[in-house]
Amino acid sequence: MKAYDKVPLTIEQQIERLHNRGMVIADSERATHKLTHISYYRLSGYWRPFELENEDGTHRFVEGTSLDLVLQYYVFDRELRLWLMDAIERLEVSFRNQLSNALAMAYGAHAYLYPSHFASHKEHTDCLGSLLREITRSKEPFIKHYFATYDEPDMPPIWVAAKIMSLGQLSRWYKMIRDPALRQEVADTYQLDESTFSSYLHHLTPVRNCCAHHGRLWNRRFTLTMKLPRKKPVGLHDNFNLESDGHLYNTLVMLAYLMDILNPGHHWKQRLVELFDHHSDVPAQSMGFPDDWRERAIWKGRLV
């Protein structure tokens, strides 16, 4: 451990530092604008793979590294994030509906209030406490309407409460359900095994949060990996990259499969191909894409 000794730099000093480290900056006025509105620190995540460390611990850029190239990676990542959130939103809305319907039909409108329906009393207490706090401070009109209209029970039905659950909360409630047949009933909607579906939702939560908080997806490894489906559905397993090591590719394969179910006739997968075509300098391999990914069945057509 050591004391932090870095000092803040003006935009002009930042540009000078980049130039001294070997970055090609063709337009200083454009560089000033970008560093003003994006920030040196945020862009550093995109130029770090182009850095070489000198013997004295300082860094230089690989010869030919330009700010324009770094900005292309940044723009690609922003467009990728928006594209990915489009699909995650569709899945989250669908899953919220399936989960609340399954619990309501099996155990009644207020199923989530009773620990007997869930595998862990402690985890149910934690999840319920968190949810009740969210409900209590919520300003959503549908929550206000419930409390203004009904006085018993003192909490809204599951289909109302679920609307303010995050994807992470929904994932925890699903995994907690004591009856595996009920979990499988939800997973059947997506033609997946319930343990695989639960694992994917758990993995997708930090991916979704990364997108929601404008985090970097390009060249990122997610430590919380997913369980890959092997037999169900037929043919899907062959599309995964078994050596991707936490990169985004396998996440996208599963989401592409789910989009075929959620929105038949969509152009979501084609938009990914177009995104890489438009940003041809960005290597797909840096996100775990295999060299032949464009030729794999999931990206060329439908498995279901």
State the pTM of this model: 0.92
CB 275 within 8 A of CB 79: yes
Rounded to whole angstroms, the Cα distance separating 260 from 256 reads 7
pLDDT at residue 4 in the model: 81
- What are the contacts of 67-70 at 24+ separation with CB within 8 A? 67/18, 67/23, 67/24, 67/25, 67/26, 67/31, 67/34, 68/24, 68/26, 69/281, 70/23, 70/43, 70/46
Mean pLDDT rounded to a whole number for the chain:
94
- Given a cut of 80, whether residue 276 has pLDDT beyond it is yes
Give the torsion sign (CA, 264, 270, 272, 273).
positive
Condensed to tens digits (0 to 9), the pLDDT of residues 40-83 reads 999 999 999 999 987 677 789 999 999 999 999 999 999 999 99
End-to-end CA gap in the chain: 53
